[in-house]
Structure 1
């Protein structure tokens, strides 16, 4: 569960805070998770140039880094899960779009699919959001939302291939 708290000035001074706040996108007053998800999109075409295993490796690294980053920034701010911390949404978006065809239509569809999963939080995402704490807890619900959205995207791609 996120907590609504004012934007800390450290976002603009501390590089870890700036990164966790999605390069500042998490400071926007309305729907910071949506803005953080949007900020993740320009990275995807670059990452799609990598071999599939390279993109997969980046997902693993950004997720592991996120466990540490989100935990550190939450501890620095003394807030369990500041709504402005959006690194978790960024990683969730990147997971959603792994192995998805290139093109803006797929980026927009993946964005919508991830936001739906992140907002609805189907089981077990909702349970994890409430019961797992620290950097792992901040990250894990969005990682799972990304996995659910990725599965939905892959089913859609597979279904379209059969048409």
Structure 2
């Protein structure tokens, strides 16, 4: 895996541990010489992650819909910024550009992107690893829901295993490489 797509919030959130996790992931990506691919925003956790990678001379590719460029949230200092027409085309580009996916804490957009990547893996549209960085139990309820859906016969147990979960960036990246 050379290019890692990270899904995360465009807001900073209120838990300092989540912001620290974004910084730690940035450090680990640079340490492992991996390119960050993300949604191209300068705001929130997205900006924290991108700025930290750039501060260490890492490579960052942003993919952002034109509407968000017009709202002046596009990060202007990236290695490469790709403008797309819509949120849907953004997801298509993110999926095509990356060799693996990681979701940090985020909101609805993060969940949408995470489940797009997981569904693609489930349907064998790609064989790229999908990871979840579960900081301070942020995703505990989501993971419990997925297990519940599986217990009701709505998600196959083998599809649950497509989601690689860890609590630290180094552990998650190591498990994704396997």
User: Shorter-chain TM-score: what band?
Assistant: under 0.3
Structure with bigger helix share is 1
Taking structure 1 as the reference length, what is the TM-score of the superposition? 0.28
Structure with bigger strand share is 2
Q: Taking CA–CA contacts closer than 8 Å with sequence separation of 6 or more, which of the two structures ends up with the larger relative contact order?
A: 1
Taking structure 2 as the reference length, what is the TM-score of the superposition? 0.26
